[in-house]
Amino acid sequence: MRIKLDISVDYSEKEIIIKTNKKDDEVEDIIKHLQAVESKFNHLNGYIDETVYSLQLREILFFETNERNVYAHTVDNAFLIHYRLYELEENLPDDFLRVSKSSILNVNEILSLTRSVTGNLVKFKNTYKQIYVSRRFLKELKNKLNQRKF
């Protein structure tokens, strides 16, 4: 079996193509493993006090650290989650992007990006919540926004 990796800024999302002359057990195993990786972070458990909630990734606006805890923000709530930002950054789909030392946002939920003297402010759809984007991550965010599907 040969494995090729083709990396380019021209690609807006990851795509895996399997070329084979027949569908056998090996191909089935590869497909199952890929599906497991894809579904790994579809849901996260979020906590408010003693209650556990199952959060779908598409509902999450952004992740943010506050002191030593990480919170997943939705339109209405902020849920404590048991992951570190670097773990989320490694495992979240391409719709999520690190935008500062303390936050990762869902690019699909951005309403606006405003540049001002005080910083680069991101506002989200259907909520009052907003976060600042570090200058270091601004270019990558703009690229993601340009590639975004409507």
Whether the pLDDT of residue 149 is over 70: the answer is: no
Whether the pLDDT of residue 54 is over 70: the answer is: yes
Q: How confident is the model at residue 40 (pLDDT cuts 50, 70, 90)?
A: low
Query: What is the per-residue pLDDT across 88-108, written as a single tens digit (0 to 9) for each?
Result: 988 888 889 999 999 999 988
Rounded mean pLDDT of 48-61? 91
Whether the pLDDT of residue 2 is over 60: the answer is: yes
pLDDT recorded at residue 148? 65
Whether the pLDDT of residue 39 is over 70: the answer is: no
Q: How confident is the model at residue 37 (pLDDT cuts 50, 70, 90)?
A: low
Question: How far separated are the first and last CA of the chain, in Å rounded?
Answer: 37
CA–CA gap between residue 127 and residue 113 (Å, rounded): 15
**Biggest CA-to-CA distance, the chain:** 60
pLDDT recorded at residue 92? 86
Nearest CA to 71 out of 95, 53, 91, 90 is that of 53
Q: 119 has which bridge partners?
A: 116
Q: How confident is the model at residue 146 (pLDDT cuts 50, 70, 90)?
A: confident
